[in-house]
Structure 1
Amino acid sequence: MSDHSAPVIIIGGGLHGSSTALHLARAGVAALVLEKNYIGRHASGVNAGGVRTLSRHIAEVPLSLASREIWLRIRDWVDDDCGFDQNGQMRVAENETDVNTLRTRLKLMHDHGYTHEEWIEADEIRSIVPAITPTIRGGLIVRGDGSADPYQTTRAFRLKAQSLGARVIEGIRVESIARHGNDWRVTTNQGVFTSPVLVNCAGAWADRIAAQMGEPVPLTPVGPMMLVTTRMPHFLDPVVLGTGRPLSFKQRANGTVLIGGGRPAWVDRDREWTELDFHQIAEGARTVCDLFPHMKDAIVNRGWAGIEASMPDAIPVIGPSSTQSNLYHAFGFSAHGFQLGPIVGKITSDLITTGRTDLPIEPFSITRFSNRSNQSSLTQGEAI
């Protein structure tokens, strides 16, 4: 094949694109990844790094548990520990409403036969996290959950894929896609690339590819904000999540504290621009100080937001196109796709190489969105 052709072209080099390239390479298929920025520029490299099976949408649970098996052997997969630790994740209840929410959640999980989430009493929470407010009411915990370094992880998947034959081009923008016989013709700002198989891992820009294929989706670009403090004495091992109020809170090995939870920044995806919303940051700060009173003296070092794709039902699109053969989608992870990255790459690779997957992906079909049309939302000069 020429430099401008490949057996599979993957649009988007974030964790899901890089994971797909790695799994394909392990199956003997040398994919070509086209990334408009650099690997990990947006969602995959700048998120909270949660390796979380806790509180997954019920449709995601089988995928999340399967992905956990890869995470437990992550060094074997990518020759890198990815900064992964298993200090657990807990979702805490601040009041009786939160308690009822979490108890209802636990019953749902048990009704479906899942036992990895467990109730944790307030006394045990305080013994694990002495710095937390004494008014905490209990919560849910998955003791085997944890966190990893998102940029380190995405880079590791990319490098391992390349070591096995995958190719990656960064700084290349896809402008249009069209069929040419049995091949896809992908026109970019660096020429035309061809392949019989195309994978749409374009994140917050993935709807533009889907729309060209006659399957528009109601994707919303979002920019979950993250804050990090200066270094503090060690006080926290597990990741702590809020229930009634959005919060993701963890202390990293270097002592800094990472604060997230999905509070949105202002986003302009065409300019790839985000601006922090300081009203939302103030609300988040109140939540942090209510749960961890000593954080009132913390110093925020910096904040940021990457651009992600959110779907109205908060679960991703995973699987084959409904209108085109040899086109596959993996996007719309709605600010919680990091833990799923390893298994989604395997699912997509299996669909391409064997035509099937052992995991239940029907809930993630692109066909769940109505009002499909053949009209493209990609106008001239609007890069994917």
Structure 2
Amino acid sequence: MAAPDHSAAAIVIGGGLHGSSVALHLARAGVHALVLEKNYVGRHASGVNAGGVRTLARHLAEIPLSLASLALWKDIENLVDDDCGFEQHGQILVAENEADLATLQTRLQTLSAQGYIHEQWLAPSALCERIPAINPSVRGGIMAAENGAADPYRTTLAFRRKAESLGARFREGVLVKRVERVGRQWSVSTETDVFTTPVIVNCAGAWADRIASQLGEDVPLEAIAPMMLVTLPMPHFLDPVVIGSGRPLSFKQRANGTVLIGGGRRARVNRDTNWTELDFHALAEGARVVCELFPHMRQAVINRGWAGIEARMPDDIPVIGPSIRHENAFHAFGFSAHGFELGPIVGKIIADLITEGFTDLPIEPFRIDRFALGNGAAATGDSGR
């Protein structure tokens, strides 16, 4: 029998935002999980992303989850005892040319046919009035007024602290090497210890395919490292987050005046060594897009850049839900560079599956076996990338 500190009602593999959220929601339901994190909480994607709280431009399959998660974000301080730096200034998907304009109009028609009204058209004049610094040649955009941004590292730590206050345990610097079924229990082996639990949750991010493979559920996961740049402080010119439609761009100004520039351009990565190397050619291309959309940014001074390792799936939507092969095993990974906003609701979904046996939200498109079944796309609709 395992020692008391080597057993738990559930073990969560991975201590990023989604793993911490699972631990919190389980603790709220009276289930005290043990979270095993190979580095430290927030080391990779969860702590170094752009912090976008975005329902805008989501894949159709993600929209119900993103809207449900936004409801939790609006009450985030009551959930984790911290406002997480969450601000609602909206997010805008910008059309720069006729092709972008046609794409956005088609999207609005698709959303309307599905009964969604959270994305609204902004005419060019309205867009320029809202963001005077933007290039006046823009052709309009789509806005989600209730969207915004939060501090990713602060948010991840807030979920961890709240989970711990309710009885969850976290162990950092613990690499899970092997997961196997032993009778009615799961045996989770690390480099130095063996833990036992009736329930496991795979939230291992860019390393989650290795855990899934041990369950006989191979997935075509790609480790990616989206890059970010941040400038020195500038005079205030922007409230909403701006997203590019035809070209990759995520652009926002923080309260301290610094400007955060992302959009999915990727660093070189080796997940086995936790190594990333910035691609300066790609960063220069991103900076050029920024300067064309916001001409005054030519005077900006870049302070630093970074990249965090995360998982991308071929259809750009995550794996969320139960194992298909095993009872009491669950997955939440592969958020493909847009998982931050979903963190609160994904934790609740997994906790509900564990404690109640079901969730009210539609998670069928996120089944882990969708690739093995030959379903290269989990649902129809634009990926919103």
Say whether the fold is shared (TM-score over 0.5). Answer: yes
Structure 1: unaligned runs, 5 residues or longer: 373-384
Matched residue, 1:332: 334
Alpha-carbon RMSD:
0.9
Structure 1 residue 370, shift from structure 2 partner: 1.5
Q: Secondary structure at the match of 1:59?
A: helix
Q: Deviations over 1:73-100 (max 9, x none)?
A: 0000000000000000000000000000
Is 2:83 the partner of 1:84? no
Structure 1 residue 309, shift from structure 2 partner: 0.2
Structure 2: unaligned runs, 5 residues or longer: 375-385
After TM superposition, the structure 1 = structure 2 runs for residues 152-301 of structure 1, keeping only pairs within 5 Å, are 152-301=154-303
Is 2:111 the partner of 1:109? yes
**How many Å separate the matches in 1 of 2:370 and 2:280?**
36
Structure 1 residue 153, shift from structure 2 partner: 0.3
Structure 1 residue 369, shift from structure 2 partner: 1.0
**How many Å separate the matches in 2 of 1:371 and 1:186?**
28
Structure 1 residue 189, shift from structure 2 partner: 1.9
Q: Secondary structure at the match of 1:244?
A: coil
Matched residue, 1:351: 353
Structure 2 counterpart of 1:290, one-letter code: E
**How many Å separate the matches in 2 of 1:204 and 1:312?**
13
Structure 2 counterpart of 1:194, one-letter code: T
Q: Deviations over 1:285-321 (max 9, x none)?
A: 1100000000011010000000010000000000000
Q: Secondary structure at the match of 1:60?
A: helix
Is 2:31 the partner of 1:29? yes
Is 2:63 the partner of 1:61? yes
**How many Å separate the matches in 2 of 1:32 and 1:137?**
50
**How many Å separate the matches in 2 of 1:86 and 1:188?**
41
Is 2:319 the partner of 1:314? no
Structure 1 residue 229, shift from structure 2 partner: 0.3
Structure 1 residue 190, shift from structure 2 partner: 3.0
Q: Secondary structure at the match of 2:346?
A: helix
Out of 125, 140, 143, the position equivalent to 2:142 is 140
Structure 2 counterpart of 1:195, one-letter code: T
Q: Secondary structure at the match of 1:110?
A: helix
Q: Secondary structure at the match of 1:290?
A: helix
**How many Å separate the matches in 2 of 1:130 and 1:22?**
42
Matched residue, 2:50: 48
**How many Å separate the matches in 2 of 1:371 and 1:26?**
35
Q: Secondary structure at the match of 1:113?
A: coil
**How many Å separate the matches in 2 of 1:190 and 1:126?**
59
**How many Å separate the matches in 2 of 1:371 and 1:122?**
44
**How many Å separate the matches in 2 of 1:371 and 1:76?**
41
Structure 1 counterpart of 2:295, one-letter code: P
Is 2:343 the partner of 1:341? yes
Q: Secondary structure at the match of 1:56?
A: coil
Identical pairs, percent: 68
Out of 77, 96, 99, the position equivalent to 1:97 is 99
Instruction: After the TM superposition, list the runs of 4 or more consecutive aligned residues in structure 1 that deviate by more than 4 angstroms.
Output: none
Structure 1 residue 371, shift from structure 2 partner: 7.1
Q: Deviations over 1:142-168 (max 9, x none)?
A: 011000000000000000000000000
Q: Secondary structure at the match of 1:61?
A: helix
**How many Å separate the matches in 2 of 1:82 and 1:320?**
29
Q: Deviations over 1:199-229 (max 9, x none)?
A: 0000000000111111100000000000000
